[in-house]
Each structure stands twice: as C-alpha cells, then as structure tokens.
Amino acid sequence: MKILPISLLLAATAAAHPVAFEGAYQLMFGTSGSVQNLEFYRSYSARAAWGLHSMRFEGDDDEIFTGLQHNWLLKRWNLPSAQANVYAGLGAGLAGEVGNGVSPAGIGFFRADYETRRVYTAFDAKWIDSADVSRGVFSAAAGIAPYKADFDQLNTWLILQAEHATGMEDKLDIIPKVRFFKGPYFLELGSTLSGKPVVNFMVHF
Amino acid sequence: MKILSIISLLALSATLAHSAPDRAVTVKTTVNGMVCSFCAQGILAHFKKHPAVSNVHVDLTRKLVLLEERKGKTITDNEITEYIRKSGFEPLKVERVKESFEQAKTD
C-alpha cells in the first residue's frame, strides 16, 4: 500500500516527450511495470528543455531518484510524411532506498523515435547511478494507428512495448497498451503480461 | 494631361497594393514533419498569440497550416517561418490565397 500514493504521482519511460515547443511546459507522470516516473520540464527552445525528474523502482526495498535534468533534441528529421528524433539528457540529484537516506546521483538518457500518421517506433534508455542505487531502464516500442486522425480528432494508437529495468524482479516486461491523445492531452493505458497496470499521462501548456 | 492621368493612376495602384487589405486574408503554409497532433500543439499556441491572426487550422493530411489574418492586419512571412520553427517543424512555402479561411479548410 505504501507504494500506491507515489505510483499515482509518478510516469513511464517510453511515453516521454523530452522537449516540446518553445515556451512550453510539459508534465508527464505514470507507472509502467515496476517503474514509476514524474517529469516536469520547461522547453526554452524547440531543441532544449530543463526541469525536474523523479523515478521510483519497486522492489524488496524501493529505490527513488529525484533531480534536475536538462534535455536536448539532438537531431530532428522533418520529412514530408514522417518525423524522426534523437534526444539525450543529463541530470543530477539524490537517490537512495526509501527510508535509508540518500546520496548524490546522476541520471542520463538517450531516446530515438520515428513516427508517421500510422506507424510509431521508439527506443529509450535511462541510467541512474549513485552510491546506493544503480539502475538502467531500457524500452523499445512499436505501434500502429487504426485510423488517420485529423488534428482536432481523438488519436488512438495500439502499442506493444518491451521494457527491462536492471536489477528488477521481472527480467523483461511486455506491455500491450492503448494510447489516446487529443489537443494537449495524452493518455496511455495498458498492463504488463503479469498484470501490473500501466498508466501514463502527459500535458503541454 | 494624358501622361499626368497615367502617373496618377499608377500612384493610386501602388498605394492600394501596399496598404493592408480591408478583408481577411488566408495564408497557407506547407510544413514538413507534422504527423502527430499532440506534437504540433505548439503551432496553435504560437499563432493564437499573434494579434494579426484570428483563426488557425492545422491540416495533417495536406501538411498545411492555415491562418486567417484579421482585417487590416498582417503577419509577415518571416514571423510565420519563425513560429513554425519554434514549434519544431520545417516550413516549406508560405502563400496568400484568395479563398476564404473556411473555403481553404474544406478544399
């Protein structure tokens, strides 16, 4: 039960949108398998953002990281019918086992994605390291849109994601999920094959 | 006298051509990379703040951003290009068309 309140606060790695448009704030939170995530960024250009990132790893002894992070859009390909992106980020903060103190920690991530109006693919890797916590989270996702939604319509995607967090109980989580977005709101709902719920929410403003 | 009349007509034409139009103008911008409405929200956010823009429409199928200018006001091509880039996309062509905003939406 102690995990539940934080699970409700915390978002998933593979739904991340590290840099939005210039001047945007973006809030992302949710839970994916045994990893929960909360990110809040300010995009000060279309290529860079900074903000707060917090992650929690469920286990016998839950571990938590909280810190400041800077994200870069390293490369974007704006193609006639597709977009591809490469992102990276670095951050620093504190990490430790819940209730056992914290120590300085670093975080880094790399993300690459490719999307058309019907096909979505993404690869995402994150590393967190401190004296007490050393974790890597790796995910790959692919999806299809059953219909081409217009700008003002509800968008629906069916996505299959594989996620691995080093040192966790399950070696590999397979996550079928449904993604919806409309306007500045984004929601993903799914479940791991072992029955753990997956919920991700994002908003830009 | 004939020459004077021609000069006067030319001067009047030039003045009219450079003054802001008294009807709403529709601006069509072709943009690459717009495949996701969630990712293109910056386009709405930026153009809605411009005092010369009364309406914005994003057409993912035709890869177009349509703007309706307020009567007597203008958004420059440079501003349009800058706003599209600030939103994370690449503008290809900006053109002012005779169609109304609503006609351009349904073409």
Cβ pairs A/B, distance under 8 A:
90
**Amino acid letter, residue A10:** L
- DSSP symbols for chain B: -HHHHHHHHHHHHHHHHHSPPSSPPEEEEEEES---TTTTHHHHHHHHT-TTEEEEEEETTTTEEEEEEPTT----HHHHHHHHHHTT-EEEEEEEESS-HHHHHH-
Q: Is A50 on the interface with B (CB under 8 A)?
A: no
Q: What is the pLDDT of residue A174?
A: 93
Contact B35 A81 (CB under 8 A): yes
Q: What is the pLDDT of residue B10?
A: 52
- ipTM confidence: 0.83
Scan residues 112-131 of A and list those with Cβ closer than 8 Å to B. Answer: 115-117
Q: Is A181 on the interface with B (CB under 8 A)?
A: yes
A186 contact residues in B (CB cutoff 8 A) = 38
CATH T-level fold of B20-106 = Alpha-Beta Plaits (3.30.70)
Contact B87 A81 (CB under 8 A): no
Q: Is B48 on the interface with A (CB under 8 A)?
A: no
Contact by Cβ (8 Å): B101, B91: no
pLDDT tens digits, one per residue of A104-161: 999 999 999 999 999 999 999 999 999 888 888 899 999 999 999 999 999 999 999 9
Contact by Cβ (8 Å): A39, A87: no
Q: What is the pLDDT of residue A142?
A: 97
Q: Which helix (H) or strand (E) holds A76?
A: strand A63-79
Contact by Cβ (8 Å): A12, A35: yes
**Domain segments of chain B: what residues?**
20-106
Contact A83 B61 (CB under 8 A): no
Contact B37 A155 (CB under 8 A): yes
pTM comes to: 0.85
Instruction: Sort strands B64-69 and B26-32 into parallel, antiparallel or unpaired.
Output: antiparallel
Q: Distance between terminal CA atoms of chain B?
A: 48
Q: Is B61 on the interface with A (CB under 8 A)?
A: yes
Chain B: residue whose CA lies nearest to A118: B35
Q: Which of B31, B58, B86 sits opposite A21 (nearest CB)?
A: B86
Q: What is the pLDDT of residue A10?
A: 35
pLDDT tens digits, one per residue of B16-56: 444 555 678 999 999 999 999 998 999 999 999 999 999 99
A26 contact residues in B (CB cutoff 8 A) = none
Q: Which of A46, A76, A184 sits opposite B41 (nearest CB)?
A: A184
Burial class (CB in 10 A: 0-12, 13-18, 19+), B92: middle
Q: What is the pLDDT of residue B24?
A: 81
Most A CBs within 10 Å: which of B29, B30, B31, B39, as the mutation test of the A interface? Answer: B39
pLDDT under 50: residue ranges of chain A: 1-14
Q: In this structure, what token pair is assigned to residue A115? A: 């999307």
Distance to chain A for B6, nearest Cα, Å = 48
Q: What is the pLDDT of residue B48?
A: 95
Scan residues 3-32 of A and list those with Cβ closer than 8 Å to B. Answer: 17, 19-24
Q: Which of B60, B61, B86 sits opposite A22 (nearest CB)?
A: B86
* CATH architecture of structural domain A3-204: Beta Barrel (2.40)
